Amino acid sequence: MTRAVFAIPGDLTTLTGGYLYERRLLEGLREIGTDVEHLPLGGSFPDPSPADHAHAAAALAAVDASTPLILDGFVVGAMEPAALLRVKAPIVGVVHHPLAREEGLGAERRAYLFRTERDNLRRADAVLVPSPHTARILVEDYDADPARLTIARPGTDRPTGHRIPDATPLILSVGIQHPRKGHDVLLRALARMRHLAWTAVIVGSAYDPGYAAELSGLRRELGLTDRVRFTGAIGVAERDDLYRRASVFALATRYEGYGLVFDEALAYGLPIVSCRTGAVPDTVPAAAGLLVPPEDADAFADALRMLLEDTDRRTTMADAAAHAGELLPSWLDTAATAQSVLDALR
């Protein structure tokens, strides 16, 4: 039996795309027969405290040289390179999207994260990425060796039940309350469509409390409190119920290294409105989505309005989404791709 160690900081049940990917990858590897030990690290990554960094450095250095070590993206991006140079085990890095491309970083912090991630990618024996877009960035901007990169596209669970849209069109958005997800742009777009019949639900935890407070204030300022609901973090059953009731999926993201929620929307046969940024054009089929420039609330509103007013087009795009959703890989497919990388390192 193949053995591996998967080092992941913080709470593995955190409701973000990155944590979901790594939790399902861990579970999938175990399901296909790999003996994977979960090595928990401190929760302060990707800005590790001195204590968490020291603990991580010692724990990673203690992994046996014959056991592949899978490293979470926060670790690959934020660990001091000198610490990874002391690791004896072969390293498989997981990079969802480069940390230096996150929203709201100062110039000094952005430069630090670029340096650490670039140097740590050079140390890695193999790297798993979720999309061709992320692979291109790592090669072109981070000088990563393309021969060491493997695209392990995220899996998708098959939908439960049948989609029965609400009589009043429901616009569904799923993403943590963080500036990168662009919920402020979505709110401004919705405010331009008050004359139409719709309701909107935004699902996602208040990951950035300051931004979450700004969103709450903006909703009041725009007069949307009676039409837009923030759910916070919710359970799978409640989320799936919203997917079944929705007419349109909308995420005004500023950047995505992949975007698991787009696959969820496709699996439920939802037409998508999002932004032409990052990996979104690679993830959302043209026949199933309308993509506009990021930060453009007017263009986002125009795309939403088109789908709400043109039911024939909405139905055609929903059919295209459902077809694309049927072709998506499973999480066991993702695990099998990762397993092939581990086998190559044995």
pLDDT tens profile 48-87: 999 999 999 999 999 999 999 999 999 999 999 999 999 9
Residue 195: the pLDDT is 94
CA torsion 9-15-17-19 (nearest 10°) is: 20
* Residue 14, pLDDT score: 86
Closest CA relative to residue 154, chosen from 136, 176, 128, 174: 128
The pLDDT value recorded for residue 107 is 93
Counting DSSP H helices and E strands in the chain, the numbers are: 14, 12
Its pTM stands at: 0.88
Q: Would you state the pLDDT for residue 265?
A: 97
Q: Is the pLDDT of residue 32 over 90?
A: yes
Q: Of 102 and 122, which is predicted with more confidence?
A: 122
Name the pLDDT band for 1 (thresholds 50, 70, 90): low
pLDDT in tens, 269-328: 999 999 999 999 999 999 999 999 999 999 999 999 999 999 999 999 999 999 999 999
Per DSSP, 185 falls in state H
Q: What is the Cα–Cα distance from 257 to 278, expressed in whole angstroms?
A: 6
pLDDT of residue 161: 81
Helical H segments across the chain, by residue range = 17-31, 50-61, 73-78, 81-85, 107-123, 132-142, 183-191, 209-221, 236-245, 260-267, 280-283, 297-309, 311-326, 331-345
Q: What is the pLDDT of residue 269?
A: 97
The answer to whether 25 and 338 are in contact (CB under 8 A) is yes
